[in-house]
Amino acid sequence: MSPERTIQKQAGAGLPIAIFIITVLALLVYGMAQLQESSGKSVSLQIQSQRAFFAAESGAQLAVAEILEAGDCSGVPAEIDFGQGALLQCKAILECSASDLFPLTGTGGGRVFTLTSTGECGARVNEVARRNVEVRVR
């Protein structure tokens, strides 16, 4: 057997197959990395949304305490900044209005206070989550 004959019989299909397999595996790894990043962002936004809800709820509870103590909307602050703990970088924006439109009977009288508390959490503009809570107090 001469060396020239064995070289002519080789077809060389291994290199294109290897390049194809490497390309497919690279695309799969890239797709999985994109999926992981998307999932991480989704979880982060869900946590921010929950924190915004708790900020709105806390602001509403503080406003209800102020209304029950003062008897009107004068003691309700316009904004509450939560500067520590789990609500760090969160705030509650409060709006209060009173109406005597409801003819209610009982010890509370006919005046109804409507509180709207908007919780906002997040430091960066594209990561800010907002949740609203509305409470009526008599």
Q: Can you give the pLDDT at residue 123?
A: 77
- The more confidently predicted of residues 72 and 9 is 72
| pLDDT at 101 (0 to 100) | 64
Stretch 101-128: mean pLDDT, rounded? 77
77 pLDDT higher than 90: no
pLDDT the model gives residue 70: 81
Q: Is the pLDDT of residue 11 over 60?
A: yes
pLDDT at 119 over 80: yes
Instruction: State percent of the chain over pLDDT 70.
Output: 85
* Contact yes or no for 67/76 (Cβ under 8 A): yes
What pLDDT score was predicted for residue 43? 84
pLDDT at 5: 57
Mean pLDDT along residues 84-101:
85
At residue 98, the 3 state secondary structure works out as strand
Is 108 a residue whose pLDDT tops 60? no
Q: How much is the pLDDT for 10?
A: 63
Domain ranges of the chain: 3-137
Phi-psi region at 113: left, alpha or beta (left = phi > 0; alpha = psi -120 to 50): beta
- The answer to whether 94 and 115 are in contact (CB under 8 A) is yes
Provide mean pLDDT across the span 22-29.
95
Cβ contacts of 99-107, under 8 Å, gap ≥ 24: 104/138
Number of H helices, E strands in the chain: 2, 4
Sign of CA dihedral 28, 31, 36, 39: negative
Question: Which stretches of the chain are assigned E, i.e. beta strand?
Answer: 79-82, 90-99, 112-121, 129-137
